[in-house]
Amino acid sequence: MRIRHLPETLINQIAAGEVIERPAAAVKELVENSLDAGATQIDVDIREGGKSLIIVDDNGSGMNREELVAALDRHATSKLLGDDLLNIQFMGFRGEALPSIASVSRLKIATRMKDGEGWEVTVEGGKKEMAAPSSQARGTRIEVRDLFYATPARLKFLKSERAEALAIKEMLQRLAMANPEAGFRLTIDGKQSFYHAPVSDPQMRLADILGRDFGQNSFMIDTEREGIRLSGFAALPTYNRKTAQHQYLFVNRRPVRDKLIHGCVRAAYADVLAKDRHAAVALFIDLPSSLVDMNVHPAKAEVRFQDPGLVRGLIISALKHGVHQHGFQTSSTLSVAALGHLKAENQNAPALPYRSPSYSMNAGLAEAVRNSYMPQMGLQEMQMPSARFEEAPVAAIPEHFPLGAARAQIHENYIIAQNEQGVVIIDQHAAHERLVYERFKTQMEKHGIEKQGLLTPELVELDEADAERLLSRADMLAKLGLEIESFGIGTIAVQTIPALLAKANISKLIKDLADELTENDEANGLEERLNHILSTMACHGSVRSGRRLSVDEMNALLRQMEETPLSGQCNHGRPTYIKLSLRDIEKLFGRT
Ligand code: ADP
Ligand code: MG
């Protein structure tokens, strides 16, 4: 074996293996170049998932002849101002993209500087032709044909055209989110996929891309710590998603993939989202370039912060703060969805059945609500309705409270209240569970959980492993007000319980906790584990669905909800209440 120096084209192809992983990566590099060139309009045109053709056309600065020729040389860049890799002001800096793309495709670049002449050059499989005059009007247009034709192995690994086109679309949307002042157009196989006009407000661009729903159901973040600025938008917990895909992070305007963000979002929303649901966020971190290393990954898709702990803390506390501040809100799309559903139901509702005369006992809203579902019930239920109505002394409870005045309880779980805007329907169990949970947490922070001794210890029989597992956690449980001891094999004696759980079914609570510990034993940190246990306990301490409440009790619950952080959702991220405005209701009846 002899050592040899590899030819230039091969070197570039090796680099291309890392930098240009798939067509979307080529699009990313080319569009980043356009952004670096100050373009305010970028048009991307792809065919067959970018495999046969990618065109990126910009109105940026353009290049003169000399620059055009140099741009295709490896490690030639106009963007590293000194020799300091920590001083990065542009998207590019490695001078690798163009030669890499050129080495694996048929490339043509046409460009013109303002007040200069147009020039173009073509490269095929790394072989450069002489630069020739071009009719290019302004900016730069780059055509990449037959990407990877020179590296058939890579070509084989590409996914379907659709999948590659989708990857390109997502890539371009990320770049568009970070650069609202530029217009972006994507055309796929001759059909326009999207156009985002230039806007001055980053929020508008986000709403453009993530949908109006996200805009209406998110809160703004803008905070700074030690020279690091964090801004962006995060969704209300009730607006949650099945995957963590909608979590976008931009560092100095660069879209980055970073596991850091998923962990932060999880931690911040832990209290308000079920484990298999995810929040949508778009966060921008801006910091002096000396505090972050961009040169970690050939495709520049990852970064390394000098102080990751600081960034993590900043993100988590900002998200948590926002979630708390807006915890009372629930997603507006919920009521819209509910309405849509109601409407659909109504359309095929059966004709109104026989109405018993006694049925007109109540006037007002309560009856309207009751009418809305009574037609679907059989006669039997009509005579013994499970709904219960009680006129509340409305004057005593002003309707200007956000959740209004309780007017009725239906199906022993839903409170119907009336406020100035319309109707509020509250899930009493979900709401109360949240209240108890928040009370637990406040107690924890202040002076520890209040406990209450039992006159005689309650004995709970479990299987041996469950009993052991609980006993091994006895110290932790004691801190939560639950003191337990062994009482022979498989039996546990409960000595004290948290005061808030005075009315709970203790043996059921213990069994649920045993299950909870199996599921969550080692995987989570202590705090997360404690919170899970508290949340399980809260569920046991809350009024069950099925319990009848007096009007006073209902109103007390509503007032407490208004004062409790995060009361807009239960511990599993389900909403605790839904509002229907009078307008919504009028729409249902076709009055508007
Ligand atoms: P890098 O972006 O890391 O500098 P590239 O290989 O992507 O490396 O590009 C090489 C050089 O070509 C850039 O530094 C820039 O000077 C020039 N260039 C590339 N694309 C454009 C463009 N669209 N408009 C103006 N100049 C460009
Ligand atoms: Mg570049």
| CA distances to 217, 288, 515 from 301, in Å | 28, 18, 41
pTM of the model: 0.66
Q: 483 and 449 in contact (C-beta within 8 Å)?
A: no
Predicted confidence at residue 99, as pLDDT, reads: 92
Predicted confidence at residue 272, as pLDDT, reads: 84
Average pLDDT of the chain to the nearest whole number: 82
Question: What string of H, E and C letters represents the secondary structure of 499-525?
Answer: HHHCCCCHHHHHHHHHHHHHHHCCCCC
Tens digit of each residue's pLDDT (9 = 90 or more) over 14-34:
877 788 989 999 999 999 999
As a whole number of angstroms, the distance between CA 379 and CA 376 comes to 10
User: How many Å lie between the centroid of ligand 2 and the Cα of residue 243?
Assistant: 31
From the CB of 56, is ligand 1 less than 6 Å away?
no
For residue 399, pLDDT beyond 80:
no
Closest residue CA from atom 25 of ligand 1: 62
Q: How many CB atoms neighbour CB 28 within 10 A?
A: 26
- Out of 88, 98, 103, 175, mutate this one to test ligand 1's pocket (max ligand atoms within 8 Å of CB): namely 98
For residue 329, pLDDT beyond 80:
no
Mean pLDDT, residues 376-388 taken together: 31
Q: How deeply is 117 buried, as exposed, middle or buried, from its count of CB atoms within 10 A (0-12, 13-18, 19+)?
A: exposed
From the CB of 71, is ligand 1 less than 6 Å away?
yes
Tens digit of each residue's pLDDT (9 = 90 or more) over 433-474:
888 888 888 888 888 889 999 888 999 988 888 888 899 889
User: How many Å lie between the centroid of ligand 2 and the Cα of residue 78?
Assistant: 10
From the CB of 61, is ligand 1 less than 6 Å away?
yes
From the CB of 57, is ligand 1 less than 6 Å away?
no
Q: Which of 187, 246, 188, 186 is nearest to 196 (CA)?
A: 186
Q: How far is CA 36 from the centre of its chain?
A: 29
Tens digit of each residue's pLDDT (9 = 90 or more) over 68-121:
999 998 888 888 877 777 778 888 888 889 999 999 999 999 999 999 999 999
From the CB of 95, is ligand 1 less than 6 Å away?
yes
From the CB of 79, is ligand 1 less than 6 Å away?
yes
From the CB of 63, is ligand 1 less than 6 Å away?
yes
> Helix 161-178 vs helix 202-210: angle between axes, to the nearest 10 degrees?
160
User: How many Å lie between the centroid of ligand 1 and the Cα of residue 71?
Assistant: 6
Q: Which of 232-236, 335-339, 407-411 shows the lowest mean pLDDT across its residues?
A: 335-339
Closest residue CA from atom 7 of ligand 1: 97
In this structure, what token pair is assigned to residue 354?
């026989």
